[in-house]
Structure 1
């Protein structure tokens, strides 16, 4: 795990100094080593910060030049099958055992696209071809590793994080109001946009190539090329469904997961895993333990607030599996102390409040290990989100009603604040079926009210994944550009609404929220994270499963549960789904109130010129009164304002 950066398009005797400054901005991603390589006549520079995971010797140093001298690479990530790739490559004299060296040999032998297709892993790559004078940027299939790029004043800049691009003198840093509008919609800036005009994120599963002559043309249009398509995987999988029995499917899933986890446990440094006690992380840890001769190191954090603590469940799973478990109960003031760090960690506006516990558990793990496996991805692949039940059920039961009547139902649901609904549900919880027992049901009822008056089931999904429902009313002069969620031509042609939602989550929410959250939080403490559920072979298997093997009898992730139950007793796992969050609504009315009030000051909001302050103040006042929980909406504004004040 590392940080990469560089540029193309300027010939200057100071290129090495600039490149080194850009890399220094990424020190946290790679504190173990650094390097710079420049070709001043070509106007190209590559720079690297290294977190040593495989081949801790100088043979793993980057930028790395191929034996022929043709290729130079900087690489962030891991190629889990690189030893198998070595066996397939022509015999050569290897200088070390790093996957970076393997990649270089693959590029020389098979070319860029073929090598990327053969590689199993997570990565962001910058490759300079000295013969063709071409720069290639590439990103892994699911978007585990970040890569920004774009033209600024005639120079193509790229890097793992925006702070590296800011260190180049050509960087302009003009805020993109359209991207800001999308941020209020989603609580993240979606691919391909970034918060800055002219800077994009490279989409997952793509690479792009720029010739040095194009750089001389100044800001030529660059088109990423796909080498792997989640859409194709979804469509092919659903057209060729798994035909075996439930037991056959369970055996096959455990085999492909075991293969992924075995590859991702390869490291020359201490390794462990996050453990929440939920289905995904428990499955990953259980399969890790079956392949380990010693207890796996596991980590979790807990909160004392009811409805936000999973530590006791994680402790039970860890005890059953025999892991070496470390847990930390976090006091509110410890979690709140992370907030000033967020705008620096995430580098562009990002407002998933679970970023706070994610940072805390990463910091805890880094005290003991350098690599930690994560259970992320199970919800998108196996149907874990409550919205997969909600959207289908809402439309089936209420879609036939007139929109006006559904709006009236929404009004009834919002007459009581979420806290009151929570109290009501607690009183009758024992009388409710298991599939209606939710953590924080009041918030979910209010969210339901927001999406009742829709025209089709896809709009229900759109409402469920939206924060501000009319963000163009909030952002001055902002429009909402198209994304994969709004462009139906980009949707996978799969037979049911639930699978359409799972696909859209896989190509949007997963890379832009979940994986971004984990990458920045972990790299902020120099911890490498690996996500075995997102091995593309696991994804391809999951998409070949019929929906009944994912959702069955009101239960989510049915098949994944069956694998887990082979290792952990069912009663230890069965409980309502709980998000990895914090009591943000309570904190904003209490210990965070003065901090939020300063950022939401009407005069400051108007002076900055980005928002219509009165609409935000209305939400803030209503939240403080306790009538509504607007914490997620307000967190979007707070995170942007905190970021803007640090970087602009």
Structure 2
């Protein structure tokens, strides 16, 4: 796992020192090693940078940028190829000789020897840049689910890429400007959906996307090499076979993610997703499994005691940490440093503390992102499906900035679920930013619950949950792996009728039948809590003045409408509800980010 950067520059304004500075800005992603390649030709200069987090083959032989023996091909790679050992055997049978035991070299040889189908053969999480000198091409590629990030900007004269936005924010040749339509989307969703970013002219490479840049004619083309499956004949499978196949795919995925040359742990909340991962890991591993839990002093939010019961039952080496007021204050004060784009999901605070807990004990951690989106775990899915049966018959009504009326105007389950997830409704986001913005929904053949799962797998999962976990863990040099997001498992589940995943509209019904093969049901029989934090308590007591000062600061920037800001601040002073607190956090997170990256510089 690493951080990667690079550029192709036709103006010859970038030099080796620029490459070093840009790459070393993400030193936290790879504290173990660094590497740089800079070449200048008559018509362009090109650079590749890498910060390495050593997890597989810890020797210098895994150093990046990784070059082919002939020198014609260069690779910088962030991620992990889980089936690299099997691929290495295949490549050796083709006569390939390896000089390392790293998955980086296997990936490079896979690209060279299977140029047309290597992306169908590799299994893993990745973003990488590949340079083909004879063809004068650079390929930028991101994994199918979008676990590993990759940003880029192309002006016609320069193509620049990096694992994090800070590689652009500290770049002396890049003019920092806010992308206001994307900022509007941030206030609607608390994240940046699709390929949008907070920076003008900077875009994300989408999950399952490959960009090819032809240097000779300066042509940049993108294509999707991976798509979610639609529902298919697997709906006719007997229930027992569905359970068995899902179970086998889970075991295969978790087993692959337990491969490393460094200590591994599991994040454990005590809910079904993390418990399943921990239980299967414990069952198939011949090593003691380390588990990690974050707890809260406020009982309403505390799951640590549930996690401890599961850990004791499984016999893991369990570690836990409880949030203190100082922890909350320190992390929130520095949220703009941890996240180089506004982090509207307040759950990021607890993930930061989890990363601090893990760091002394493990260099790789398994999490359970994707469980709700794959197995139907959010109550909002079922609320939207049921409510849409009523709203479809109700005439349009004036909204008057009323959330309930806004929801009543949504006439199908997808639009209603989309509206439920909004922090700021579109009309309020418009008044706040003075621009209109609407994301285009990806086309899907799915219906009902599966349509809502597809929606979250396409946006909320990669653009919020996976981004949040990647930034938090990699800030402390920890590789995060998501065993519930194996593409094979995702494709199998997305082909199933929703009734097989959630029989009788029971959230996670399929997953629960697997989990109970390892853990007695009575140890898990409790209401779903989610990984939430006591945000309302913190923001209205401990951090009340800090919140007011930093949100009020935004009025002086003239970026946002002062009347909207004042109204939200007033609402937050008098027993604010959950929806007001979400808006307060989104404004606070943006303010702290803006002050860190635009004002401080």
Check if 1:53 corresponds to 2:55.
Answer: yes
Query: In the alignment, is the contact (CA less than 8 A) between 2:152 and 2:162 conserved in 1?
Result: yes
Report how far residue 160 of structure 1 moved: 0.2
Deviations 1:301-358, CA, capped at 9 Å, x for gaps = 1001132111111111111111111111111321221012211221111210000001
**Which residue does the alignment assign to 1:478?**
435
1:169 and 1:627 map into 2 onto residues whose CA distance is 42
Q: Give me the whole-angstrom Cα distance separating, in 1, the residues matched to 2:253 and 2:208.
A: 18
CA-CA distance at 1:578 after TM superposition: 1.1
Q: Does 1:578 align with 2:534?
A: no
The answer as to whether partners of 2:294 and 2:353 remain within 8 angstroms in 1 is yes
Q: How does 1:239-388 map to 2 (within 5 A)?
A: 239-388=232-381
What is the aligned partner in structure 2 of residue 634 from structure 1? 584
For the residues of structure 2 that align with 1:560 and 1:158, how far apart are their CA atoms? 39
Post-superposition CA distance 1:381-433 (Å, at most 9, x none):
111111111011112355434556x989x98xxxxxxxxxxxxxxxxxxxxxx
Residues 58-137 of structure 1: pairs in structure 2 closer than 5 A: 58-89=60-91, 90-111=94-115, 113-137=116-140
Contact 1:180 1:478 in 2 (8 A): no
Output aligned runs, 1:182-193, within 5 Å: 182-193=185-196
Rounded Cα–Cα distance in structure 2 between residues aligned with 1:280 and 1:334 = 26
Matched residue, 2:221: 223
- Residue-by-residue CA offset, 1:436-487 (whole Å, 9 max, x unaligned): xxxxxxxxxxx76752343333321121121100244334442204333xxx
Q: Which residue is 2:445 aligned to?
A: 493
Q: 2:412 and 2:370 mapped to 1: Cα distance? A: 27
**Which whole-Å deviations, capped at 9, do the CAs of 1:47-69 have from their partners, x for residues lacking one?**
00000000001110000101232
Per the normalisation by structure 2, the TM-score is 0.95
Cα RMSD (Å): 2.0
Distance in structure 1 (CA, Å) of the matches to 2:6 and 2:399? 53
Question: 1:560 is matched with which residue?
Answer: 511
- The correspondence for 2:482, drawn from 500, 522, 531, is 531
Q: Distance in 1 between matches of 2:249 and 2:147?
A: 19
Give the equivalent residue in structure 2 for 1:644: 594
Segment drifting more, 295-304 vs 387-396? 387-396
Partner deviation per Cα, 1:110-143 (whole Å, 9 max, x = no partner):
11x5112211000010111111111110000010
Say whether 1:465 aligns with 2:421.
Answer: yes
Shift of 1:156: 1.1
SS in 2 for 1:395: helix
Give a deviation string over 1:555-589, Cα, whole Å, max 9, x none. 21111111100000111112211121211112221
Unaligned runs of 5+ in 2: none
Q: How many residues align?
A: 592
The 10-residue stretch of structure 1 (153-162 or 92-101) with the greater mean CA deviation from structure 2: 153-162
1-structure distance, mates of 2:225, 2:14: 36
Q: CA deviation at 1:150?
A: 0.6
In structure 1, stretches of 5+ residues that fail to align are 412-446, 485-489
Checking the alignment, whether the CA contact within 8 Å between 2:432 and 2:564 is kept in structure 1 is no
Over 3 Å counting, the alpha-carbon distance change for 1:554 and 1:643 in structure 2 is: same
1:14 and 1:204, CA in 2 relative to 1: closer, same or farther beyond 3 A? closer
What is the SS of the residue equivalent to 1:223? strand
Match of 1:451 among 407, 427, 447: 407
TM normalised by structure 1 equals: 0.88
1:269 Cα deviation after fit: 0.4
